[in-house]
Amino acid sequence: MVKNDVCFDAAREVEAIKTKLQKAKRRNYSKGKSKLDKYTGELIAMRQAGASFTVLAEWLSVRHRVKITRMSICRFLRARE
């Protein structure tokens, strides 16, 4: 058995792992372009005409081959209000 002169600090190791995991969890929401930017006008007009977010998601899928969730559309439009 080999002895190490360095003491093992369990608390420091736990904190290091927790910090690493926290950094891994953080999402990077860049301020780049959204794939919905091209359709902003149409989405706003359709929403004002009474379309639900589910209808908007289906419209994007059928007409423009853009796969996106209804909640993403909701967040996108909320940010533009």
Domain ranges of the chain: 36-81
Residue 33 confidence (pLDDT): 84
Task: Answer for the pair 56, 70: CB distance below 8 angstroms, yes or no.
Answer: yes
Mean of the pLDDT values across residues 27-53? 88
The reported pTM is 0.61
Mean pLDDT of the chain: 88
Whether 21 shows a pLDDT value over 80: the answer reads yes
| DSSP assigned state of 7 | P
Whether 41 shows a pLDDT value over 80: the answer reads yes
Sign of CA dihedral 12, 13, 17, 23: positive
